[in-house]
Amino acid sequence: MGLKPAVFLLALVPLALMVVQILQNNLGPDPAQELAKVTGEWTIRFLLLALALTPLRHLTGITQFVRHRRMLGLFALFYATIHLLVWMSFLLVFRWQAIGEELIERPYITVGFVAYMILLVLGVTSPKAMVRRLGKNWKKLHRLVYVAGILAVVHLLWILRTDVREAVVYGAVLAVLLGFRLIRSFDLRSS
Ligand code: HEM
């Protein structure tokens, strides 16, 4: 069992803080926008955390790290689902036509939605039974997480437009994590 319950509880802290802020009516002048912002940020943070575990295992030799990969990936999906629901409910009030139009006409929404669909597919195919059923294809499919990471940073760059510092920080972390894998795969091929 190990650290799993502790990681699980820690990953719920951002949700708990959000609930407290909602109950205290303490989300600033535009609560819906603030919720979209906070849930989006936790989505990308969990995605990057999940992607950091394999390099951490290789760098430290501690195999424990990768045990939490699936859970952190699922938490990225969890916060992304709340993020999507905030957009659909508070920002667009379930006006289905407007939702459809935004999905097609606003590139940052399209890109975010594709990233979300990838996380959803990866989440659905993450149980052990699915890993067994998909065999070698599982690994290929789960490489899509890199695409989801890149799309998430593009989504952010598009939203922030002028002050892109936040997107640059997340993008730099992603570049390091993907670069590590790329270099390792070259090393393994040449050795
Ligand atoms: C993996 C998927 C996604 C990630 C990582 C993500 C990440 C983020 C982040 C970090 C922000 C905050 C930007 C800020 O600091 O202001 C944000 C804002 C937002 N996202 Fe996402 N997002 C994702 C998917 C989606 C989807 C599926 C939708 C809707 C279909 C969406 C719609 C929005 C909207 C409307 C905002 C607020 C934009 C604004 O401030 O004007 N996102 N997202």
Give residue 1's pLDDT band: very low, low, confident or very high (50, 70, 90). low
pLDDT attached to residue 105? 98
69 pocket-lining for ligand 1 (C-beta < 6 Å): no
Write down the pLDDT at residue 2: 78
What pTM does this model have? 0.95
Residues in the chain: 191
- Determine the structural domain holding residue 23 and report its residue range: 4-190
Question: Does residue 122 have its Cβ closer than 6 Å to ligand 1?
Answer: no
| Tens digit of each residue's pLDDT (9 = 90 or more) over 121-162 | 999 999 999 999 999 999 999 999 999 999 999 999 999 988
Give the burial class of 40: count Cβ atoms within 10 A of its Cβ; 0-12 exposed, 13-18 middle, 19 or more buried.
Answer: buried
Give pLDDT tens digits for 49-94: 999 999 999 999 999 999 999 999 999 999 999 999 999 999 999 9
Does the beta carbon of 170 sit less than 6 angstroms from any atom of ligand 1? no
50 contacts: CB under 8 Å, gap ≥ 6:
69, 72, 73, 76, 145
Per residue in 157-180, pLDDT tens? 999 988 899 999 999 999 999 999
Please indicate whether residue 84, judged by its CB atom, sits closer than 6 Å to ligand 1. Answer: yes
- Sign (positive/negative) of CA torsion 52, 6, 167, 36? positive
Q: With a cut of 90, say whether residue 40 has pLDDT above it.
A: yes
33 lines ligand 1 (CB under 6 A): yes
The average confidence (pLDDT) of the chain is 96
Residue 99 CA, closest ligand 1 atom number: 30
Is the shortest distance between the CB of 36 and ligand 1 below 6 Å? yes
Ligand 1: which of 39, 79, 155 to mutate, most ligand atoms within 8 Å of CB? 155
Does residue 156 contact residue 44 with C-beta atoms inside 8 Å? Answer: yes
Determine the average pLDDT of the residues in 6-34.
96
Question: Structurally, how many domains does the chain consist of?
Answer: 1
Handedness of CA 63, 54, 8, 168 (dihedral sign): positive
Top pLDDT among 183 and 2 is at 183
> Residue 5 corresponds to which tokens in the numbers above?
């319950």
Average pLDDT over residues 21-47: 96
Distance between CA atoms of 43 and 62, rounded to whole angstroms?
A: 25
82-129: pLDDT as tens digits: 999 999 999 999 999 999 999 999 999 999 999 999 999 999 999 999
- In a mutational test of the pocket of ligand 1, which residue from 37, 105, 170 has the highest number of ligand atoms less than 8 Å from its CB? 37
Closest CA to 35 of 45, 56, 21: 21
